[in-house]
Amino acid sequence: MTKVIKILGTGCPKCQTMTGVVKDVVSENNIDATIEKVEDIMEIMKFNVMTTPALVIDDVITIKGRVPSKDEVLALLN
Amino acid sequence: MFDWIQNIADWFVYDVLNMNQGQHLAEALNFFIYDTTKILILLFVVIFFMGIVNSYFPIDKVKNYLSRHKLYGLEYLMASLFGVVTPFCSCSSVPLFIGFVRGGIPLGVTFSFLITSPLVNEVAIGLFIGLFGLKTTIIYVISGVLLGTISGVILQKLKLESYLTPWVKEVLENAQREQDIFQAEKQPFKQRLPIIWAEVIKILKGIIPYVLVGIAIGGLMHGYIPEGFFEKYMDKDNLFAVPIATILAVPMYSNASGILPVVQVLVAKGIPLGTAIAFMMGVVGLSLPEAMLLKKVMTLKLIAIFFSVVTLCIIISGYVFNILL
């Protein structure tokens, strides 16, 4: 099943880094997933997070407020 | 406590590089090695410690605590204290603001948190201990906390809700004391450690260049500006020094790390500490990029009021320091 990955962040450097990490993990491991960047603050607030960047996988918030390592993201996606 | 670093610096400069004691370059190099080593160690310790605190005491818990408890005025102080232990990246200020407001936390209390958090952060504390010593650091931290508290109280009294942007007002109307229970991550310390560690390394990597450049510039100035040079312009009796220093500082946005070593030299050369602290608070606590971000939730008028109140409080604390220290 295709996983839906959302990256919540208003475009700060940390959010860019997180997007990079997630994209790398997905392509390196051939994971079936769509990646969407959510930059609109109103959309972000619907997820009830207070610190960005946040990583949402299939509508579950998995990481917030920090940039994860590749291994961490891979573990979350498996 | 730091004698051993001095010994290492001496050994490296005089024995390994075989330079002569008393030589200008040798002294400057010695100073640079000693200062950077000491400051990097302190930064590491403080950032690591704060990382641990923050891991057990995340922002969601803070918000829930503030939104559940009525504290009879103490909530401003609590919010301000929470600001010290929960650092956040400036890009999170908008989601934080909304999260707090939505949790039914009064605007003034939210401001207390937003003011203290960047003002008293782990990097500033680490650098402060290294450059100015423990006593000045404690004074800085206490005054930062008080400043956040008092500014929050004032801002609450001004009843500024009507100056929020329309969609935030909507959020405000639907605000409720949150009942949702925070799913605390029950991770053992062993699992938290790698995450905390990675974060510490990331922060250090980000600030080391600024710190090195700052100390290098400070070192150069140390050699070339004569003792007491600034006393002529900025002595304690000069009433304009504090406001000018503060107002100059507000638009500046250095992540404290670069500016602090320079300020330390300025103090050594005769700028009163209160004036210097006011300057640093202006640099660290308020910035134009932050104002731009806040535009999403506040009208320009509210941002202007917010910045004015905080600036005023900084100026006052600068005067108080100059009298006390």
Quickly state the pLDDT bin for B237 (edges 50, 70, 90).
Answer: low
Cβ neighbours of A10 in B, within 8 Å: 91, 94-95, 293
**Any alpha helices (H) in B133-235, and if so which ranges?**
134-157, 166-173, 189-224, 231-234
- Among the residue ranges B59-73, B80-94, B244-258, the one predicted with the least confidence is B244-258
- Please give the pLDDT value at position B240: 83
> Per CB distance under 8 Å, which residues of A are interface residues toward B?
9-15, 41-42, 44-45, 48-52, 65-67, 69
CA B317 – CA B282 distance, rounded (Å) = 11
pTM, two decimals, is 0.82
Number of domains in chain A: 1
Cβ neighbours of B60 in A, within 8 Å: 50
pLDDT 10s digits, B164-216: 888 888 877 776 655 454 455 567 777 788 888 888 888 888 888 888 888 88
Q: Is residue A66 part of a domain?
A: yes
- From residue B24, give the alpha-carbon distance in Å to each of B32, B131, B192, B302: 12, 22, 47, 52
Quickly state the pLDDT bin for B223 (edges 50, 70, 90).
Answer: low
Q: Rounded to 5 degrees, what are φ and ψ at A64?
A: -140, 145
Q: Rounded mean pLDDT of chain A? A: 86
Residues linked to residue A38 through DSSP beta bridges, in sequence order: A8
Quickly state the pLDDT bin for B291 (edges 50, 70, 90).
Answer: confident
- A-contacting residues in B 25-84 (Cβ below 8 Å): 58-60, 63
Q: Rounded mean pLDDT of chain B? A: 83
Residues linked to residue A4 through DSSP beta bridges, in sequence order: A34
Cβ neighbours of B185 in A, within 8 Å: none
Q: Is residue A78 part of a domain?
A: no
Amino acid at B155: L
B95 neighbors A49 (Cβ within 8 angstroms): yes
CA B138 – CA B48 distance, rounded (Å) = 19
Which member of B89, B98, B100 has the closest CB to residue A14? B89
Amino acid at B178: E
Asked if A12 is an active-site residue, the reply is: yes
Domain of A48 in residue numbering reads as 3-72
What is the phi-psi region of residue B131: left when phi exceeds 0, alpha when psi lies from -120 to 50, beta otherwise?
alpha
- Please give the pLDDT value at position B41: 92
Residue A63 belongs to domain with CATH number: 3.40.30.10
pLDDT 10s digits, B243-262: 888 888 877 765 667 778 88
